[in-house]
Amino acid sequence: MAAKVKLQGQEFPIPDDLIALPDESEEAKRQRDNRLKRWLSQVSPAATNATLQWKEENGETIIQVTPQLGTKGIVVDPVMEALIATPQVVHPVFSLAVELKMRLASRQLDLPSLLRYQSRIDEALSDGHDEERKVEAIYRRLLEVKATASPWVPLGF
């Protein structure tokens, strides 16, 4: 019988052997649920501590997965929140290069206008280098940091 999982607004089928029960004992069901949670954690880490609700709908087995409040994304969320809160910016080198290209194509560049751009070009190249230095520093620190096992099996493994 086909089984589907509903998790965080998504619905997808799961392999039958993943939810197969050797018997109807509570222990077998507990092991099945743990097995399913581990598998689902590949999709969403929040599934690790989720509540599973089993029901039948139109001849299908539906498993509603509800992540537990207060425990989801303990590790991930602060990082995600910081990333989301970061203002979106285009690298100054890109934005200025595009602006100049547009003015060049529309024949709006001459010496006086180009001279007015000189300081902006200097700033863009300098700011860009600052940003790249920061990224480079982050990259070096990531390389140097001690490897730690993930609590979740990465997708595809």
Partner 1 sequence: MVPDIAHLLEQFRLPLQLEEARSFLHLTHSVTNYLDLYQEYFPKEYERSMALIESGKAQLFPLRGEGYSPHEVRFLTLVDEHLFPLPLWWVVDDASDETRAYTTIPVEPIGIDIGYGDEIEDLRLGLQLLYYLVGEVPADIFDEIIETPDNAIFELPIEQGRVDGPLLKTRCEHAEEPLSFFYLAIDYMAHDTGTVWLDATHDMPCEDADWSRETINALVEQYAKAQDILDKTDRFLDWLEADVLNNFPEVRNIWNAAIRDTQAKERGR
Residue 91 in the binding site for partner 1 (CB under 8 A): yes
Among 58, 118, 148, 150, interactor with partner 1 by CB under 8 A: 118
Residue 30 in the binding site for partner 1 (CB under 8 A): no
| Closer CB to partner 1, 17 or 110, in the complex | 110
Among 28, 75, 76, 98, interactor with partner 1 by CB under 8 A: 98
Q: Which two tokens stand for residue 31?
A: 């092991």
Contacts 24+ apart (CB under 8 A), 47-52: 47/7, 48/151, 48/152, 50/7
Q: Which two tokens stand for residue 38?
A: 């581990």
Among 125, 137, 138, 153, interactor with partner 1 by CB under 8 A: 125
CA–CA gap between residue 94 and residue 13 (Å, rounded): 44
The footprint of partner 1 on residues 31-60 (CB under 8 A) is: none
Applying CB under 8 A, the residues found at the interface with partner 1 are: 91, 93-94, 96-98, 100-101, 104-105, 109-111, 114-115, 117-118, 121-122, 124-125, 128
